[in-house]
Amino acid sequence: MATVVVATGNLGKLAELKDYLQLLDWDLALKPQEIEVDETGETFIENARLKASEVAIATKSWAIADDSGLSVFALNGAPGVLSARYGDRDTDRIERVLRELGDESDRRAEFVCAIALSRPDGTIALETEGRCPGAILMAGQGAGGFGYDPIFFVTAQGKTFAEMSNAEKERYSHRGIAFEQLMPKLKQLKLTD
């Protein structure tokens, strides 16, 4: 069984990736706490590559990383790569997006998830980007999820991420789309040094 380091210190993200990657014969490990990666990329894919590559080199193992967030068209893509840092708490981040969007009629947005898999030498073996189109509501709906989920309306499903079951969100989300795109390639990949 190949060990793949997940380039995060977040146990919740590790558990989530285990769900997506359960069909692979991989032993997923959390990155060591002492490894810190500055997310200096201007795009989600740049940050995913940075995290995967630096963690792979530091651990001398295969590493997988993702970077994701919300992109609002009328805000020129904001909050974008700053999605997690757009406020101190989820409510602050939601309020800021709604305040900045104001009465704007163009409420189109998308959630983006970039995933990169790095070889132990830091070269990127595979990458993808999943996008879930939707719109920003005037106020939140639903009690589930986290982050921007209550204000992100998935038009194709007719509900917000916060109104979806975990299984629905897993299937229709940007992360679900990214893993669906990547999985056929991951299944064919032989992890060797």
Give per-residue pLDDT as tens, 89-103. 999 999 999 999 999
Which residues face 109 on adjacent strands? 72, 134
Buried b / exposed e along 115-137 (16+ C-beta atoms within 10 A) = bbbbbbeeeebbbbbbebebbbe
Per-residue pLDDT, averaged over 102-129, amounts to 97
Q: pLDDT (tens digit, 9 = 90+) per residue, 2-22?
A: 899 999 888 878 888 888 898
The annotation places the binding site for Mg(2+) at 38, 67
**Residue 130 backbone dihedrals phi, psi, to 5 degrees:** -100, 140
pLDDT at 193: 53
Whether 107 is in a domain gets the answer: yes
- Percent of the chain past pLDDT 90, that is, above it, reads 80
62 class by beta-carbon count within 10 Å (0-12 exposed, 13-18 middle, 19+ buried):
buried
The annotation places the binding site at 8-13, 38, 67-68, 146-149, 169, 174-175
Span of 87-101, 111-125, 177-191 with lowest mean pLDDT: 177-191
Residue 130 has pLDDT above 80, yes or no: yes
Higher-scoring residue by pLDDT: 125, 18: 125
Whether 83 is in a domain gets the answer: yes
Per-residue pLDDT, averaged over 31-55, amounts to 95
Whether 152 is in a domain gets the answer: yes
The annotation places the binding site for substrate at 8-13, 68, 146-149, 169, 174-175
Contacts by residues 45-49 (CB-CB < 8 Å, ≥ 24 positions apart): 45/114, 45/116, 45/127, 45/129, 47/81, 47/114, 48/114, 48/115, 48/116, 48/127, 49/116, 49/118, 49/124, 49/127
Q: Smallest Cα–Cα separation from 71: which of 110, 39, 108?
A: 110
- Percent of the chain past pLDDT 70, that is, above it, reads 99
pLDDT at 185: 93
Return the active site residues. Answer: 67
pLDDT at 166: 85
Number of domains comprising the chain: 1
CATH number at residue 115: 3.90.950.10
Whether 31 is in a domain gets the answer: yes
Whether 193 is in a domain gets the answer: no
**How far is the CA of 41 from the CAs of 38, 49, 182, in angstroms?**
9, 9, 21
174 phi-psi bin (left φ>0, alpha ψ -120 to 50, beta other): alpha
Tell me whether the omega of the peptide bond preceding residue 120 falls within 30 degrees of 0, making it cis: no
pLDDT at 162: 95
pLDDT at 59: 97
Higher-scoring residue by pLDDT: 16, 73: 73
Print the domain residue range for 59.
Answer: 2-188
Q: pLDDT (tens digit, 9 = 90+) per residue, 142-165?
A: 998 889 999 999 999 999 999 999
Q: Could you tell me the sign of the dihedral formed by the alpha carbons of 94, 152, 127, 177, in that order?
A: positive
pLDDT at 89: 95
Whether 116 is in a domain gets the answer: yes
Residue 35 has pLDDT above 60, yes or no: yes
